[in-house]
Amino acid sequence: MMKHYLDLAARSDRVHRRQSRMTRLCIVLAVFLVAVMFGLADMYLQGMVIETRRQTARFVRREALQWCVTAIPVGLGLSVLVVWALCAVMRHFSSVWFGSIPLFGISWLSLGAATVLGLLTVLLAAHTPARQAARVSPLEAVAGNPGQARPFRHAANTRRWPVEIALGVHHARAGKRSYLLMTGAFALCLTLFLGFCTLVPFMKNAFAPKAWTPDLSIVSETNTCSIDPALLDAVAAEPSVRRTFGRMFAYDLPLQTGGQARACTLISLEETQFGWAQEQLAEGSVEAASAGDQVLFVANTDARVAAGERLTLTVNGTEQAVTVGGILTDHPLARTAGTETLFCSEKTFTRLTGENGYTILDVQFRSSADESDVAAVEALFGGGVAFTGDLVRNRQQRGLYYAFSVLVYGFLSVIVAITMFHIMNTVRLGVAARTRQYGALRAIGMSGRQLTRMVAAEAVTYAAGGVLLGCALGLALHWFLYSSLVTRTFGVPWSVPWPELALIAGVILLTTALSVRGPVRRLRALPIVETLTVQ
């Protein structure tokens, strides 16, 4: 089963790697489109004398490769350090599964593949900007207006918004290809984040022990309420014990429901276990059973019972009526075929049956506990009980879960960081590329506050388009991966990941808003004459 889960994780990772490559390509291409247009004047000051169009394209590609001289070694070095840190963390959390991983190993094949992939990504992203730079005439480049030769079909809509907002939106949407690349990069970051988020519920269901999983169970050998309640307090007093809870069982009780006679098992729960039952609640209220004298009914058979219905139990030859306070869709303790399962509080169980002893005690130990602590708890009991449980196995399973958590949340953190850096770089280069235009607007009377609003409107237009597109694509991908990995394997239905969606959308919008401040502050600090003559 564990190998099956690991195979599913590997299959999901291949999908996410394809998305990651597409994200890198769109981001790099968007950056080059802006950066090349910003550097056209400088290129053609040289090109007017010695360069042809082919040489200009080579110049752009060579400049792109020049970035790789620093970026690739730094990226490889940081990657090696991150991998070493991840190996150390995974070995710490799960030495059984990952103890053989070398702590300071280097995969030269991976480094070579990453280098080739980085170079190909940069060259592919530089192809279109290089071709565009080669088409621009030297006069247009030196004048700083290479894009003005294209006529605008529509002017900025100043009827709906103030002029500065309208200009910002118009600037963002004027270049169709640039707008698609910018919004596409935003959308791919959001889509990739939502895609990786499906690994979190998969990981929890596949590797994490359930909240109610005991490290040690003490079971009555006669399956009766024969365990002294005082022993529950004695076990809880042990310093190595994190949590202990007991259950009382009454088996094969006659039950009358809907005019039909059935057999049922009555089980007592305490406050913590009632909290776990809340997850399976389909109708009614758990509090009606935990704090009152009603019961919870598990609807995993063909019996039709509704909340508020009265049931008749026969206990020790006496008929007693109980009210159904809530309906559960399922429960781990409801596993006897053809038998109904009822849950009630310990007080209600004692009132119905007259018993106050426990049938089972479950114990969960602290992370520092070992086998000697388990033996100390077992020594509190005499005869008449059986011990089951596996502290070591549960600890190994939790370690595997923590190790995978480091990987998954590490991927999510990298995606968020890439998104933030891309937004900041996009805004900075966009402001730099339009410095002359902003200077001209300031020269004819645009205030600093209006300039800030215009730049913010342009950046928000990119971000809003990317968020809307990313939500549509990301939710579709999230549904597909969740259905394939989680629903099909564990039966957990899909739901809209509102917290994750709000997180990544909030990061994009907040980073966009904050990224405007620095470039605009520098632009407003420049004299108007200098902004008009900047190269």
Q: What is the DSSP string of 158-211?
A: TTTS-HHHHHHHHHHHHSHHHHHHHHHHHHHHHHHHHHHHTHHHHHHHHTSPPT
User: DSSP 3-state assignment of 286?
Assistant: coil
The Cα–Cα gap between 165 and 159 comes to 11
Last residue of a domain, one of 369, 389, 409: 389
Is residue 429 assigned to a domain?
yes
380 and 400 together in one domain: no
Sheet holding 241-247, edge to edge: 241-247, 360-365, 216-220, 385-388
The Cα–Cα gap between 364 and 359 comes to 17
The Cα–Cα gap between 300 and 404 comes to 33
The Cα–Cα gap between 122 and 66 comes to 10
How many domains does the chain contain in total? 2
Is residue 380 assigned to a domain?
yes
Cα atoms in the 13 Å half-sphere on the side-chain side of 66: 7
User: What kind and span of H or E run contains 311?
Assistant: strand 310-315
Task: Quote the Cα angle for 229-235-240, to 5°.
Answer: 165
Largest CA distance in the chain: 109
pLDDT of 141 reads 57
pLDDT of 466 reads 92
Alpha helices, DSSP H, located in 336-490:
346-353, 371-378, 391-433, 435-443, 448-482, 488-490
- Is the Cβ–Cβ distance between 25 and 126 less than 8 Å? no
Domain ranges, residue 270: 216-389
238 and 174 together in one domain: no
383 and 397 together in one domain: no
Task: Quote the Cα angle for 275-281-287, to 5°.
Answer: 50
Last residue of a domain, one of 339, 373, 389: 389
- Long-range contacts (CB closer than 8 Å, 24 or more residues apart) made by 346-352: 346/248, 346/268, 346/269, 346/270, 347/293, 348/268, 348/289, 348/293, 348/294, 348/295, 348/322, 349/248, 349/250, 349/266, 349/267, 349/268, 350/248, 351/293, 352/250, 352/266, 352/313, 352/315, 352/320, 352/322
Is residue 328 assigned to a domain?
yes
Strand bridging mode 281-284 / 310-315:
unpaired
415 and 506 together in one domain: yes
471 and 332 together in one domain: no
What are the respective helix, strand and coil percentages of the chain, to the nearest 5? 65, 15, 25
pLDDT of 279 reads 87
Query: For residue 129, what are the contacts with CB-CB under 8 A and spacing of at least 6?
Result: 29, 32, 33, 35, 36, 37, 60
- Is the Cβ–Cβ distance between 118 and 71 less than 8 Å? yes
Of 310, 357, 407, 394, nearest to 88 by C-alpha is 407
366 and 461 together in one domain: no
pLDDT of 156 reads 62
pLDDT of 496 reads 95
204 and 234 together in one domain: no
397 and 523 together in one domain: yes
202 and 273 together in one domain: no
The Cα–Cα gap between 140 and 134 comes to 12
Is residue 90 assigned to a domain?
no
455 and 509 together in one domain: yes
Query: What is the CB neighbour count within 10 angstroms for residue 143?
Result: 14
Query: What is the CB neighbour count within 10 angstroms for residue 65?
Result: 14
- Is the Cβ–Cβ distance between 460 and 182 less than 8 Å? no
Tally of residues, the chain: 535
Is residue 62 assigned to a domain?
no
Write phi, then psi, for 207 (nearest 5 degrees).
Answer: -115, -30
- Along the chain (535 residues), what's the average pLDDT of each consecutive run of 10 residues? 42 45 48 48 48 74 83 89 86 79 87 89 78 66 52 62 85 82 88 92 89 94 95 96 96 89 94 92 93 91 87 92 94 86 96 96 94 94 91 87 86 87 85 83 87 91 93 95 93 92 91 90 83 65
User: How many helices, marked H, and strands, marked E, lie in the chain?
Assistant: 21, 11
Last residue of a domain, one of 335, 370, 389: 389
249 and 190 together in one domain: no
Cα atoms in the 13 Å half-sphere on the side-chain side of 100: 2
Is residue 280 assigned to a domain?
yes
385 and 457 together in one domain: no
Residue 343 pairs with which residues in a beta bridge? Answer: 267, 296
User: What kind and span of H or E run contains 272?
Assistant: helix 271-277
